[in-house]
């Protein structure tokens, strides 16, 4: 009995302190706040936007920021603030939809090739080498060019290229985890491969992937708006940050607010994801 009594006091402590440590970091708190608020804007833009984002008013074209229009108005007299807010829906959707399938596919493939190695792993290795030699953006643009522009096609394109990065990370992490005897213990216990991979290895291997996912969501917004800017992603009149920046491009010297405000939104959301990812890394790391 005395064996255990020493760790008694620790029993309830660890979980709490870990969350406390994470919450004590202002970066993580700011990140969570930004992403939380961004998600709220994305779900219910109508609650926050002062005007209808598509309401055209030819009497108020390209007005500078004022109390009535804090971010000014665009070349059609639409309220810039309302357009930036309503773009949250599509841009936050991008962060999720362009990455979630890549995450799921990548984690599964990475875990499987990492566990089984062999021929599948060799083929995977060559494939990764091939994909990674190309710049990410160029590949995505090539896929969009084949599929045609539009949001759905853009998600498909980013997923087709993006899962490779998740898979590579997951594979390496699974192989590292297999160095621990608990996976050999699973084999010796007669557990099925599926159980060992998904119940034992995956939960221990996934932390760096989740952290990467956070950064990747920021990158997805950046990439999505780049494609929108180039006319390959969201199509006008849809309010999307890249599209908004592109619309303001012609008036950059006279109506600078048109391009600046959506740019600020991109930077802010990206920062939110990065800060949150940092904090998550501490939160998810297993103890001991």
11 lines the binding site for another protein (CB under 8 A): yes
Q: Is residue 9 near another protein by the rule CB under 8 A?
A: yes
- Asked whether the beta carbons of 22 and 283 are under 8 A apart, the reply is yes
Instruction: Give the range of 9-17, 29-37, 137-145, 155-163 binding another protein by CB under 8 A.
Output: 9-17
- Cα separations in angstroms, 147 against 34, 96, 143, 160, 233: 34, 21, 6, 12, 12
CA distance 242 to 259: 9
Cα 42 from chain centroid? Answer: 14
Cβ-Cβ contacts under 8 Å for 281 (sequence gap 6 or more) = 207, 208, 211
Residue number, 185 or 264, with CB nearest to another protein? 185
Size of the site for another protein (CB under 8 A): 30
Which residue is it, tokens 């005007």? 51
> In whole angstroms, what is the distance from residue 15 CA to residue 26 CA?
19
Q: Toward another protein, which CB reaches closer, 52 or 193?
A: 193
The CB-of-186 to another protein minimum distance in angstroms stands at: 8
- Is residue 1 involved in binding another protein (CB under 8 A)? yes
Residue 173 binds another protein (CB under 8 A): no
Encoding tokens for residue 14?
A: 């660890």
Least separation in angstroms between CB 251 and another protein: 55
Minimum distance from residue 183 beta carbon to another protein (Å): 9
Residue linked to tokens 């490779």: 164
Choose the binding region for another protein from 1-9, 55-63, 72-80, 160-168 (rule: CB under 8 A). Answer: 1-9
Does the footprint of another protein cover residue 118 (CB under 8 A)?
Answer: no
Determine, following the binding rule CB under 8 A, whether residue 19 of this chain makes contact with another protein: no
Length of the chain: 288
Which pair of structure tokens corresponds to residue 261? 């405000």
135 vs 179 by CB, closer to another protein: 179
According to CB under 8 A, which one of 129, 190, 194, 253 is a site residue for another protein?
A: 190
Residue 79, classed as helix, strand or coil, is strand
Tokens 């994470």, residue? 22
Q: 187, 252, 267, 268: which one contacts another protein (CB under 8 A)?
A: 187
Choose the binding region for another protein from 121-129, 137-145, 164-172, 189-197 (rule: CB under 8 A). Answer: 189-197
Examine residue 125 and tell whether it contacts another protein (CB under 8 A).
Answer: no
Question: Cis (ω within 30 of 0) for the bond into 126?
Answer: no
Identify which range of 3-11, 78-86, 134-142, 231-239 contacts another protein by CB under 8 A. Answer: 3-11
Contact pattern for another protein over residues 191 through 210, marking x by CB under 8 A: xx--x---xx--xx------
Q: How far apart are CA 204 and CA 15, in angstroms?
A: 17
What is the CA 182 to chain-centroid distance, rounded?
A: 32
- Smallest separation (angstroms) from another protein to the CB of 187: 6
How distant, in Å, are the alpha carbons of 37, 62, 167, 244 from that of 74?
25, 5, 43, 9
Q: Is 47 in the site for another protein (CB under 8 A)?
A: no
The residues that touch another protein, with contacts defined as CB under 8 A, are 1-4, 6-7, 9-11, 14, 179-182, 184-185, 187-192, 195, 199-200, 203-204, 286-288
């Amino acid at each position: 009995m005395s064996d255990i009594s020493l760790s008694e006091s620790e029993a309830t402590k660890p979980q709490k302190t870990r969350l406390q440590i994470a919450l004590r970091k202002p970066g993580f708190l700011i990140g969570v706040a930004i992403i939380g608020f961004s998600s709220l804007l994305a779900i219910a833009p109508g609650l926050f936007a002062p005007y209808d984002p598509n309401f055209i008013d030819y009497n108020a074209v390209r007005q500078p920021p004022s109390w009535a229009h804090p971010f000014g108005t665009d070349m059609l007299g639409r309220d810039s603030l309302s357009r930036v807010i309503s773009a949250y829906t599509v841009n936050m959707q991008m962060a999720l939809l362009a990455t979630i399938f890549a995450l799921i596919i990548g984690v599964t493939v990475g875990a499987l090739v990492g566990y089984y190695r062999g021929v599948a792993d060799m083929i995977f290795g060559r494939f990764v080498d091939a994909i990674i030699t190309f710049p990410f953006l160029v590949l995505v643009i090539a896929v969009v060019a084949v599929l045609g522009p539009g949001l759905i096609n853009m998600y498909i394109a980013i997923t087709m290229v993006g899962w490779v990065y998740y898979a590579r990370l997951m594979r390496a992490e699974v192989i590292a985890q297999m160095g621990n005897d608990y996976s050999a213990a699973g084999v010796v216990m007669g557990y099925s491969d599926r159980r060992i991979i998904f119940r034992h290895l995956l939960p221990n291997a996934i932390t760096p992937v989740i952290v990467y996912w956070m950064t990747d969501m920021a990158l997805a917004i950046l990439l999505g708006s780049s494609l929108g800017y180039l006319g390959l992603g969201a199509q006008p009149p849809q309010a999307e940050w890249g599209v908004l920046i592109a619309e303001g491009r012609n008036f950059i010297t006279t109506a600078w607010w048109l391009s600046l405000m959506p740019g600020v939104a991109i930077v802010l959301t990206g920062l939110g994801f990065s800060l949150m990812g940092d904090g998550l890394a501490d939160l998810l790391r297993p103890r001991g």
